[in-house]
Chain A
Amino acid sequence: MATTALRPAVQQRTSLYEWLTTTDHKKIGMLYTISSFIFLAIGGLLALGVRTELAQPGLQFLDESTYNQLFTMHASVMIFWVIIPFLAGLGNYIVPLQIGAADMAFPRINALSFWMIPFSGLVVISGFLLGGAADAGWTAYPPLSSIKYSPGPGMNLWIVALILIGTSSILGAVNFLVTIFRMRAPGMTLFRMPIMVWTIIVTSVLVLMGTPVLTSALMMLFIDRNFGGSFFDPATGGSAILWQNIFWFYSHPAVYIMVLPGMGAISEIIPVFSRKPLFGYRAFIFATAGIGALGFSVWAHHMFTTGSVFLPFFSIMTFFIGVPTGVKMFNWIATMWRGQITFKTPMLFAVGFLSMFLIGGINGVFSAPVPVDYAIHATYWVVAHIHYVLFGGSFLAIMAGFYYWFPKMSGKMLDEGLGKLHFVLVMIGLNLTFLPMHTLGLLGMPRRIADYSPTAGWNDLNLAATAGGFTVGISLLPLLWNIYISLRNGKDAGNDPWEGNTLEWATSSPPPAWNFDRLPAITSERPLFDARHGRSGSDHA
């Protein structure tokens, strides 16, 4: 199965051809990361376009049509071409190493999963050059997304691109599951797996259960638009609300798809930099599985104001799903408690994740009590919420993981000073952008508006949010410079620069094509800790 990786291609020079045809999970993992950074730049510029227009009332820079394309594409690109692939890329690089395998189970399918991402990304973005990108919001609610109200080519391109990226996710999920269940090293029992691997399992199950459902909805929309179907057309017996049910059946779990692997990365980083094991390893796994299971029973909380939802059920389930998330927060804090914490950049981002994701959890609970949701639904409160979850949560976790595993991927250390500068700028920027949005929401500013009245009282807060947005944009510059100079003259990382716990630190940095020459004994979830300090008191439970 893993013959490709075992091929003795040891010291071959890595030409462009080699990168384009590679089936090595590590190279594919890095390709995912590079692709995600490129799409991050695109998605970020789209966001800055939105923020620039909203800095003051009146339409100064964009017309409504362009504005609608920008916010639609910002959300679509960031969700489907940045956060999900970033995490899939980290998983791709790290999971086989953490379970002591030589590669993913299906290396060529792995390459296919990756290459569908840049290709589908080009498809969705090409709308800008072909007469207008998709502009019905990333949620694409019919009837607005129907051929009658969105006649441009952008909507069709968006549907096709999403079907492609969904297929890529499904292939990736199957690959992860087979790899994890079939290719673990001897001694690596399920309850000795790193938490990162567990979160990838739950995420893959969510993808397998959710993504095909989204694909079916996309196909129905495509049929409605192009072949005269009437799935979602109320005028011919269809239902506009049906789309919302199917769409959110996937897209709510998608939030967990975007957060769980990040939680996995955080759960690797905090123990290492606190010199303690993760507090409540098993409880953490059950909480992850619980979030995954409950994740499929809360979708209609996005639809409380439609008048077509059984409200009490979806309300109480939404409350419940906050509980396992809270449990995890306590687990992380208890891990730091009485530890010996060092604040290298990965740990800074991990602590940043804890503080910001906490806000994203708390401001989300406001949508669970239905009457409060009536007041804040579709306002900037919700924009604040989703960005504290996906930016303060997922993205900070991705950055923590990137700083943590970069030495393994490249063999070089990143500069700590530039890392800290990045951290400070991003923390200031993200709070300056998204905190004021809570107030804007309470003051009645709906999301997705291109313009607002100068007398609405929203001017100052919008200006602050725009200043914050540009701060976030600038914060990426020290990161990129850091990557550049560290790859050129960074300190050598050695096998294990952080005193890590898990198997990826047992091999060289970067690892050889076949990953390991030899593996340490695996008798707990921290094999390297055991090798360093002896077995005493290292097993959980």
Chain B
Amino acid sequence: MKLAHQPRRLVVLLGVALTALLLGGCQAVGTLPPATEQAVQITDLYNLVFAIAAVVFVLVEGLIIWSVIRYRRKPSDRSLPTQTHGNFMLEIVWTLIPLVTVIGIFIASIGVLNTVDARDADAAEVKVEVVGYQWQWKFAYPEDGIEVFGTAAQEPQLVVPLGKVIQVSLVGQDVNHGFYIPEFLFQRDAVPGQVNVFQFTPNKLGTFHGQCSAFCGLLHHAMRFSVKVVSPEEYDTWLTENAPKPSGFTTLRVGI
């Protein structure tokens, strides 16, 4: 039997593969720093799921590697190993444990979902309308008569005040688009013929990158925008500066 040297080579191979895997895995496994109150909760939920996933991964991958190393066939293995066909109790246990675990995550996720998807029209302090079209965005503040159009040369900017409840009404003009801000850990589809409403509360000053996430044709990659979170005072100043002249809407070709 020339089995003896083969398993060792295999162990080396598995070692190489696993090292590559771990190096890659450790590089970055967390979310971006959350920038809204909702995103903070999503990050917590993500971290919970990740912690459970990491335990499951290490446990099961460990069992696989252990079996592969420990139970390889030795030259002395002439007679058959014990022919185990199953173990009812064991199978019940390893069905119930995953079941209980996923129900637990589900319950935790529903709590977060209720916050993230909360839509209290009365609570909304700033209302904006977002329209996705091939291949840019329009941000409108109907109560203040301001509209911002993005162009290929200049991506549009949505300006919102810190700590206020911002309500977005989102719609697609031609095809589906996706309104996605990675640091908000949030996206919602902009669908033609259907207005999607959601709210968020920015809790961090700064400018946050956003981009279309639903494939929308030729220049899908160019549908970039940004959200600028400013203090409420700055926001009021911005509103005043960009308020429409009595004749009608102000159209900003560029953000600030």
Q: Which residues does A use to contact B, with CB under 8 Å?
A: 64-65, 68, 136-137, 141, 143-144, 149-150, 234-235, 239-241, 274-277, 279-283, 305-308, 311-312, 315-316, 319-320, 322-323, 326-327, 329-331, 333-334, 336-343, 348, 351, 354-355, 358-359, 362-363, 365-366, 368-372, 374-375, 377-379, 420, 423-424, 427-428, 431-432, 435-436, 438-439, 442-444, 446-453, 456, 461, 464, 533, 537-541
Given the known inter-chain contacts A435-B21, A438-B29, A451-B221, please indicate yes or no for A377 contacting B86, CB distance below 8 A.
no
Q: Which residues does B use to contact A, with CB under 8 Å?
A: 3, 6-7, 9-10, 13, 16-17, 20-21, 24-25, 27-32, 39, 41-42, 45-46, 49-50, 53, 56-57, 60-61, 63-64, 67-68, 71-74, 77, 80-87, 90-91, 94-95, 98-99, 102-103, 105-106, 108-110, 112-113, 116-117, 134, 174-176, 178, 180, 182-183, 185-189, 191-194, 196, 198, 209, 211-222, 224
B residues near A537, Cβ cutoff 8 Å = 83, 85
Given the known inter-chain contacts A537-B83, A540-B85, please indicate yes or no for A362 contacting B53, CB distance below 8 A.
yes
Given the known inter-chain contacts A305-B188, A374-B185, A442-B28, please indicate yes or no for A369 contacting B105, CB distance below 8 A.
yes
Given the known inter-chain contacts A305-B189, A377-B187, please indicate yes or no for A341 contacting B219, CB distance below 8 A.
no
- In the bound complex, do residue B45 and residue A337 qualify as a contact, i.e. CB atoms below 8 Å apart? no
Given the known inter-chain contacts A312-B110, A319-B106, A439-B29, please indicate yes or no for A379 contacting B192, CB distance below 8 A.
no
B residues near A305, Cβ cutoff 8 Å = 178, 187-189, 213
User: Complex Cα distance A495/B24, Å?
Assistant: 44
- In the bound complex, do residue B191 and residue A306 qualify as a contact, i.e. CB atoms below 8 Å apart? yes
B190 to chain A, nearest CB (A): 10
Beyond the given pairs A274-B71, A351-B68, A377-B187, 10 more chain A to chain B contacts, judged by CB atoms under 8 angstroms and listed by A's residue number, are: A276-B81, A327-B98, A333-B64, A369-B49, A369-B105, A371-B185, A436-B27, A438-B29, A442-B28, A442-B32
Q: Is the interface of A mostly helix, strand, loop or mixed?
A: helix
- In the bound complex, do residue A449 and residue B220 qualify as a contact, i.e. CB atoms below 8 Å apart? yes
- In the bound complex, do residue B28 and residue A143 qualify as a contact, i.e. CB atoms below 8 Å apart? no
B204 to chain A, nearest CB (A): 16
A325 to chain B, nearest CB (A): 9
A residues near B183, Cβ cutoff 8 Å = 444
A residues near B81, Cβ cutoff 8 Å = 274-276, 338-340
A297 to chain B, nearest CB (A): 14
- In the bound complex, do residue B112 and residue A371 qualify as a contact, i.e. CB atoms below 8 Å apart? yes
Question: In the complex, which of the residues A306, A307, A374, A461 contacts B116, with contact meaning CB atoms closer than 8 Å?
Answer: A374
User: Complex Cα distance A279/B192, Å?
Assistant: 52
B154 to chain A, nearest CB (A): 14
User: Complex Cα distance A280/B88, Å?
Assistant: 8
Counting from the closest, the 3 A-B pairs by CB-CB distance are: A444-B182, A234-B193, A369-B109
B residues near A241, Cβ cutoff 8 Å = 191, 194
B residues near A331, Cβ cutoff 8 Å = 91
Question: In the complex, which of the residues B6, B56, B192, B224 contacts A343, with contact meaning CB atoms closer than 8 Å?
Answer: B6
- In the bound complex, do residue B13 and residue A340 qualify as a contact, i.e. CB atoms below 8 Å apart? no
B residues near A342, Cβ cutoff 8 Å = 3, 6, 72-73
- In the bound complex, do residue A362 and residue B57 qualify as a contact, i.e. CB atoms below 8 Å apart? yes
- In the bound complex, do residue B73 and residue A365 qualify as a contact, i.e. CB atoms below 8 Å apart? no
